[in-house]
Amino acid sequence: MFKNKTVVVTGAGGTLCSAIAIELASLGAKVALVGRTKEKLDVVYDKITAAGGVALVCPCDVTDEASVKALAKEVEEKLGGCDYLVNGAGGNNIKAMPTITKYDERELTGELPEGQKGLYNVDMDAFRSVLDINIMGTVLPTMEFAKQMVKKGGGSVINFASMNTYCPLTRCFAYAMSKAAISNLTQSFAAYYAPANIRINAIAPGFMVNERSKNYLGTVEDGLTARGQSVINHTPMGRFGQASDLLGCAKWLLSADAAFVTGITVPVDGGFLTLGGV
């Protein structure tokens, strides 16, 4: 199904999308590994090629239109054009997050205790950067690689949403806004590109294990932070997700098995959305 197909994976140096890239390569796909940090991409490249797969390391800032155009040209020349796109690039920025969860009048007077900041104290450049990487970092690659899919008679795109898509978590204003936008643009782009036989869907991962999550949430095995315990209490399956938990859904959405599926966002969350917290 994926043999000799070209897959472009943005955010391929990260925990989740590196696993998707490696899995698709193991099924015979040629994978363009896209990310800002070449060293992280090189690690994934080595794993793929050591197993006999085909990969191309493509450092790129997916928020920069010129860079994305150059990336698309390179993929077309070296791998034969894009069949599938996984828009995994994204993230949050601690500078865009307050430390408090509710408005406090002291944030306007500068009298919050040392180390605390409210919404009015966050770095707005950082705030904008979160919107840019999560929204425009999805829009630009989709528009550019859709051109190649059109030439091939169709294709499939996966965007990355979040639990924040459905209900914003505290302190994550910019991130939650951007991930809500992902669901909307998945729907609107799906409708727009349907005549070109290009399907566009999204995955909304639950709380997944990576180095960043360990810092914020802790681990079930080694101890949870208060925030981590709250997540586990809200997750019927009683654990955080692993990158491998996304593979089945990703392969299904990309493949012809989902030929009549477009514009949906699929939660892969251990049941997180089934509990109202009451």
- What CATH code is carried by the domain that includes residue 105? 3.40.50.720
pLDDT at 278 over 70: no
Residue-level pLDDT at 228: 86
First and final CA of the chain: distance in angstroms?
A: 44
Both structure tokens of 173: 């204003």
Is residue 135 assigned to a domain? yes
pLDDT tens column, 51-72: 999 999 999 999 999 999 999 9
pLDDT tens column, 8-51: 999 999 999 999 999 999 999 999 999 999 999 999 999 999 99
Is residue 128 assigned to a domain? yes
Is residue 277 assigned to a domain? no
Neighbouring residues of 242: CB distance < 8 A, sequence distance ≥ 6: 208, 209
Is residue 237 assigned to a domain? no
Q: What's the CA gap between 274 and 278, in Å, rounded? A: 11
What is the count of structural domains for the chain?
A: 1
Is residue 172 assigned to a domain? yes
User: Which positions are catalytic?
Assistant: 175
Whether the CB-CB separation of 141 and 65 falls below 8 Å is answered with: no
Whether the CB-CB separation of 40 and 59 falls below 8 Å is answered with: no
Which residue segment(s) compose the domain that 182 sits in? 6-215+242-272
pLDDT tens column, 224-270: 888 888 889 999 999 999 999 999 999 999 999 999 999 999 999 99
**Mean of all residue pLDDT scores within the chain:** 95
HEC sequence for 132-176: HHHHHHHHHHHHHHHHHHHHHCCEEEEEECCHHHCCCCCCCHHHH
**Listed residue (130, 134, 136) closest to 174, CA to CA:** 130
Q: What is the pTM of this model?
A: 0.95
Whether the CB-CB separation of 149 and 155 falls below 8 Å is answered with: yes
Is residue 224 assigned to a domain? no
**Listed residue (178, 69, 56, 184) closest to 126, CA to CA:** 178
Per DSSP, the three-state class of 266 is strand
With b for 16 or more beta-carbon neighbours within 10 A and e for fewer, the 13-40 pattern comes to bbebbbbbbbbbbeeebbbbbbbbeeeb
Is residue 140 assigned to a domain? yes
Is residue 220 assigned to a domain? no
Distances (CA, A) of 135 to 132, 150, 183, 249, 266: 5, 22, 10, 22, 18
